[in-house]
Structure 1
Amino acid sequence: LQREMERLQDALQLCRDVLKMALGRSQLLDTAFDRVTQIQNRLTRVCDTSIMGYSYWFECTPRHFSLNITPLSVANKFQEQVDAHGGSWVFTSATLSVSGDFQHFTSRLGLKAKNSLALSSPFDYQSQARLCVPRYLPEPNSPQMAQKLVSILTPVIETNKGRCFFLCTSHAMMKDLTERFRQRLDLPVLMQGESSKQALLKEFTELGDALLVATGAFWEGIDVRGDALSCVIIDKLPFTAPDDPLLKARIEDCKLNGGEPFYEVQLPDAVIALKQGVGRLIRDKSDRGALIICDNRLVTRDYGKMFLSSLPPIPRTRSVSNIINFLQPSTDVVIEAE
């Protein structure tokens, strides 16, 4: 990589030297000179990894190569915008807090909030929803995980007649589950990436009995109300992949500042991501459905309490059978006395 970067820098310098001799001959040549100078300056900056406070990373695809600088925090820049514009600023969302605390959000943006308020939900989760963390699951990264999930969750999806989102934390799991469910289910099984996001949503709601297996794009910003979606399954707690360059840089920066990276960086990010995924289920006062999170760490690890305390107050169970009973349509029996 260093060798190729040197070749690129040498080529740019040659272009600049040649263009410099032609300055003033035409507007096009002058513009090309300015452009080469700009690219050189950017390349010098992106290669100067001695400047702290940034994540430096590169990415390769079959057709492209990119060099990137990502700031570890936008707090200072954002605070400058707040000060420059003045006035009152209101930040609102369903996923700003972690265990009722807004500190993770405010510190990322450099905010010094005058007031903060956590409003209770208008939904009656006690009657509208159930949360299940199934028993007897293998470890989250176990090779048998996909096979086990299909085995224990097929009856749930069949009982619910589809109408289910299966949200995954990786593309590999998404593809594995899709293939296995298509072998087991007679219901339509849709997968993110096989068509556009909007086309998939439209097909999902029109079919009325489909399972949609998806990843990141469907964890947030999706609003499916009513009977069209009454079951959301999440394969595991959405911790950011450990090889993510920005995460690695933030962890290193946190350590340098004497912090605890897991509790200050990784855990809050995962809690907010989980809240976003859970929020796909109950979208209206008349909605009803089941949430299944297939990760034992939610109940076996101490940090699981932080996840649970950040979620809506949904009644919990470890039994998949209880979820099946909850999802079965209620039947009213009318007896006429003679």
Structure 2
Amino acid sequence: RRVREYVADSPFEYQKNCLLYLPKDLKKCRRGSQEEAEMIAGHIHSLICSTYGHTLVLFTSYHLMGNVYQMLRDEIPFPMIEVWRHSTEEITRFKQMDNAVLFAAGSCWEGVDFPGDMVSSLIIVKLPFAVPDPISEAQKKEYANLKDYIQAVIVPDMQKKLRQGFGRALRTETDTCVVSILDERAGEGGRYHEEVMCALPSCKMAKDIKDVQHFIRNRKGVEYYL
């Protein structure tokens, strides 16, 4: 029997409707430090105000999420919701608000639908590298060295989850969204910049917060700000 194959183009106009923001002024901080949490909180605050709420913030660490949430809970002029272990009630509450901010981790990286202006700003705090476990430790022994293992297993796994998280941004053909990655390893010259760019569709790029503000102002109507 013959097998016919067909590859369809994506219906989403990423170049027109999506802006990928990789801040130029990200500092390299010690993982888990107070300095790291404060830096991330500062960037998130600027982005939320620039897009007038309508924000989903995806974390890879519940600990970091909790710290940043506490820093911003009294500083943001929009409703803020924190989701622990995929709470359906909290996600539903977020969807019922017009310009809220949702802090999430875990399973919220995939399978959650936020169409329209509900999420016009998607913030990915850290690249979603998997946490080592006994299976990955055993798998590592199959490779000659650590570098080969990272390139063959760790990076492709990160790219897959990054694409899943990115998919929360545009859910319909008319959606418009800013996607920000606050991991210095993803920025130009960063260790995993090329891998990030290969994983995501081609979008307009930005390094300055003013470009984010300009993008939102030019693609959202008056009702978006009400």
Q: Distance in 2 between matches of 1:178 and 1:322?
A: 25
Kindly report the root-mean-square deviation, in angstroms, between the aligned alpha carbons of the 2 structures. 2.6
| Misfit runs of 4+, over 4 Å | 114-118, 329-332
Give 1:276's aligned residue: 164
TM-score of the pair, normalised by structure 2 = 0.86
Cα offset, 1:197, TM superposition: 2.7
1:120 aligns with 2:14: no
Residues 291-330 of structure 1: pairs in structure 2 closer than 5 A: 291-298=179-186, 299-301=188-190, 303-328=192-217
Give 1:197's aligned residue: 87
Once the two structures are aligned, what percentage of the paired residues are identical?
25
Matched residue of 1:131: which SS? strand
Asked which structure has the greater RCO (Cα within 8 Å, sep 6+), the reply is 2
Cα offset, 1:175, TM superposition: 0.7
Higher mean C-alpha displacement, 298-307 vs 118-127: 298-307
TM-score of the pair, normalised by structure 1 = 0.59
Residues 7-22 of structure 1: pairs in structure 2 closer than 5 A: none
AA aligned to 1:187 is F
Instruction: Provide closer, same or farther for how the CA distance between residues 115 and 229 of structure 1 changes in structure 2, counting only shifts above 3 A.
Output: same
Higher mean C-alpha displacement, 245-254 vs 182-191: 245-254
Q: Which digits, 9 at most, give the CA deviation of each residue in 1:262-316, with x for residues without a partner? A: 1001000001010100110011111001000011212224542122122011111
Residues 32-51 of structure 1: pairs in structure 2 closer than 5 A: none
Cα offset, 1:160, TM superposition: 2.0
- Structure 1 gap ranges (5+): 1-86, 89-113, 333-338
Q: Distance in 1 between matches of 2:44 and 2:79?
A: 15
Residues 15-164 of structure 1: pairs in structure 2 closer than 5 A: 118-139=7-28, 141=31, 143=33, 144-164=35-55
Instruction: Provide closer, same or farther for how the CA distance between residues 153 and 193 of structure 1 changes in structure 2, counting only shifts above 3 A.
Output: closer
Q: Is the 8 A contact 1:137 1:294 kept in 2?
A: yes
Cα offset, 1:185, TM superposition: 0.8
Q: Which digits, 9 at most, give the CA deviation of each residue in 1:223-252, with x for residues without a partner? A: 1100111110011111112x4222222212
Specify the structure having the higher radius of gyration (Cα): 1
Q: Is the 8 A contact 1:177 1:213 kept in 2?
A: no
Instruction: Provide closer, same or farther for how the CA distance between residues 288 and 177 of structure 1 changes in structure 2, counting only shifts above 3 A.
Output: same
1:236 aligns with 2:101: no
Cα offset, 1:158, TM superposition: 1.9
AA aligned to 2:123 is I
Q: How many residues align?
A: 218
Instruction: Provide closer, same or farther for how the CA distance between residues 315 and 198 of structure 1 changes in structure 2, counting only shifts above 3 A.
Output: same
Q: Distance in 2 between matches of 1:136 and 1:300?
A: 12
Q: Distance in 2 between matches of 1:132 and 1:221?
A: 23
Matched residue of 1:254: which SS? coil
